[in-house]
Amino acid sequence: MSLSSLIVTASAAPASVDDWSNRTIAFLGPVGTFSEAALLGQADLARARCVPMATFADVLQAAENREVDYAFVAIENAIEGTVNVTQDTLAFDSTLLIQREVVLPIHLALMARPGVKIEDITHVWSYPHALAQSRKFVARELPGVASEPSNSTADAARMLAEADSDLAATGAAIAPERAAEVYGLDVLAHEIEDHDGNATRFVLVAPEVIPAPTGRDKTTIVVFQHVDAPGSLLSILQEFDARGINLTKLESRPTRHGLGHYCFLIDFEGHIDDEVVADALRSLKSKHAEVKFMGSYPVAGEHGLGLDH
């Protein structure tokens, strides 16, 4: 969204949804994914019609094309970092704005068809991030086993449940325990993630709307430097420091315009409706860089206007 159209008056239009049952939300399917668990964990969002889709790209495109009202996608994991397809789509290819964030603790399980034992397994399916988050367990308990990527953790469980008997007899999936219940699998090992404190941050996104400020908000922007020179990043950061604005995330990403060309994705405390935030963004745009606004929204766990956690 054009920054100039947002901060001329530093005013945000309140977003309120009284009846979520009339709204549609796309999420990464199939049934049993962490995305679904995080989505249904929000009491208000759970009342909406939730539509599973095959990939994060499909989920975001459906919202961009107005085929659904909202998209709900993972954007960051505590172990593996940024979910690049989400971050890059929102930063470069989309007009969608972040409406809220949801943080879900992540626990992975090893599952197989009934009767299959750990020693029978020769290949394991899962989403690439989940495979990476459990690589130590796999190396220790399943040495030499082939890892095969799937579109989601629950999709790995579904694929295993639907596989022919010969393939399923030596296969396993790494997925949420709920996926084992959904697809009739047995859990062979619980909580196999390599690190305590594993969690994934999800965001609800939609076209154009900016939630009203709650007093505990976060804003996300992308900054494209006018000039790449010594001290240019420092000068950008000083705009926040001078106004006492706390950054919660700073990450560089390729701009897609050749090697060595980077932009900065920045999360910081505050809302576009706060004059200090609007002033910082005006100064950034006039002195240092182009700025793309990606949303102002309640921090995880906060109650915003129209929210029902």
Enumerate residue ranges in the chain where pLDDT < 70: 1-18, 302-309
Of the candidates 27, 202, 268, 293, the residue annotated as catalytic is 202
Residue 200 is a catalytic residue = yes
- Burial of 67 per CB tally in 10 Å (0-12, 13-18, 19+): middle
Q: If you search the block for the tokens 């609800």, which residue do you land on?
A: 204
Q: What is the pLDDT of residue 181?
A: 96
Domains of the chain, first to last = 20-106+196-208 (3.40.190.10), 109-189 (3.40.190.10), 216-297 (3.30.70.260)
For the segment 87-130, what is each residue's pLDDT rounded down to a tens digit?
A: 999 999 999 999 999 999 999 999 999 999 999 999 999 999 99
Q: What is the pLDDT of residue 1?
A: 56
Q: What is the pLDDT of residue 308?
A: 35
Of the candidates 86, 89, 153, 200, the residue annotated as catalytic is 200
Question: Phi and psi dihedrals of 30, rounded to 5?
Answer: -80, -165
Residue 24 is a catalytic residue = no
- Cβ atoms of 216 and 193 within 8 Å: the answer is no
Q: What is the pLDDT of residue 301?
A: 72
